[in-house]
Structure 1
Amino acid sequence: MKISIRKGAAEDLPTVLGVLDSAVVWLNGMGITAQWGTESFSGRPGAVEQVRRTMSEGDPWIAEVDGVPAGTMTLTPHPGRHVPPAAEPEVYVRLLATDARFHGHGVGAALLAHAEEETRRQGVSLLRVDCFAGSEGRLVAYYEGRGFTRTETFAVDGWEGQVLERRV
């Protein structure tokens, strides 16, 4: 399976929401409801606005397999509002998700490799991401397996998060 990654734009909001919605269904099917809840992103106006705003703050990227959206991420020069910015220039991975149809096929890894390339291209050496720290830390372990190291933790309304970073 060949994964290609293209730069997204504001008009890709429905595509990004579709990938996020698919990821929620997949997570729920695995019994993971605390990460992104049980409702679709596209069915929650506040979530749609948050995704739109995040995309407008940075560069959205769409991973495709044979022209079919398989994953997404948005790279911003700062984290979301619940994480303090770094004390140096950074690239922050946000809204990273894989469409359920492509889970386990390396889409997330391809997007993270692209994030590293983009970080270098921008002349920045710090790449950061945050993720859900629950579910026995499986997502934290996923990022650690891709060279990220844990930094600080945070909580938002009982939702436990972990910030990770990687030097590129």
Structure 2
Amino acid sequence: MPPIHIRPASTATDDGLRLLRNFDSQLSWLSSIGSSAQWGDTSRSDQEDHRAKYRGKVERSERGWNDPWSRDWVRAYIAEVEVKREDLSSELLAIAGESTKDAAADADAVRLPVAGMILQGQSSDYVRDIVPENDDNDPFIYVPYLLSDRATAPHGKGAGAVLISHAKDEARRLGIKRLVLDCWKGNGDKLVQ
């Protein structure tokens, strides 16, 4: 497998929408295993409120890149692999932000986004009965989002592990000892079996 590269998410490449498309790519699979209750069956990338929310997360990440950790801290990342242009379908070239008309471009390879991750300084409201507000005496980094794009499989194999490793590195750099990962416990644990 090619190496997985992690880059900060960017508004210039509309990575808020990219993150939502990762959600959308999971919907039919979740439905197929009886887990559609997790996110429903409606595309998020088509809904302006979701687009604004994720665009906002990417903007906050970009604006605060050099800021120290705080409860308002947010970082968004995209995992990419470099793939030969000739090995990609037109659908995957579109995901890479390329098109078949670009096939004559100088580069033999393109960067294909395969997964994304968001790190936050506090837990989401819906998990506060399980994960409390962040405590300055024992802070954590909350991982509300870690998703691959099923359309890019198998190119992104291992991207989740690389992103988690990146989150651990970020925590160490900040002197934070805990990561808290958001995970849905539903459908008789079928997601974790």
| Residue matched to 1:18 | 21
Deviations 1:51-96 (A, max 9, x none): 2344435110101111111000111111112223233211111221
| Residue matched to 2:86 | none
Kindly state the Cα deviation for residue 29 of structure 1 after the two structures are TM-superposed. 4.2
| Aligned 1:8-157 pairs, distance under 5 A | 8-11=9-12, 12-55=15-58, 56=60, 58-66=74-82, 67-82=111-126, 83=128, 84-87=132-135, 88-100=138-150, 101-102=152-153, 105-139=157-191, 141=192
Q: TM-score, normalised by structure 2?
A: 0.64
List alignment gaps of at least 5 residues for structure 2.
Answer: 61-72, 83-110
* Identity across the alignment (%): 33
Kindly state the Cα deviation for residue 124 of structure 1 after the two structures are TM-superposed. 0.5
> Greater share of strand residues, 1 or 2?
1
Structure with greater contact order relative to length (CA < 8 Å, sep ≥ 6): 2
List alignment gaps of at least 5 residues for structure 1.
Answer: 143-168
Which deviates more from structure 2 when the two are superposed, residues 100-109 or residues 86-95? 100-109
Alpha-carbon distance between aligned partners in 1 of 2:163 and 2:177, rounded to the nearest angstrom: 17
Q: TM-score, normalised by structure 1?
A: 0.73
Alpha-carbon distance between aligned partners in 1 of 2:43 and 2:162, rounded to the nearest angstrom: 25
Alpha-carbon distance between aligned partners in 2 of 1:10 and 1:112, rounded to the nearest angstrom: 23
Alpha-carbon distance between aligned partners in 2 of 1:91 and 1:32, rounded to the nearest angstrom: 27
- Secondary structure in structure 2 of the residue aligned to 1:131: coil
Which deviates more from structure 2 when the two are superposed, residues 65-74 or residues 13-22? 13-22
Partner amino acid, structure 1, of 2:188: E
Aligned residues: 141
Kindly state the Cα deviation for residue 138 of structure 1 after the two structures are TM-superposed. 4.0
Alpha-carbon distance between aligned partners in 1 of 2:124 and 2:52, rounded to the nearest angstrom: 14
| Residue matched to 2:97 | none
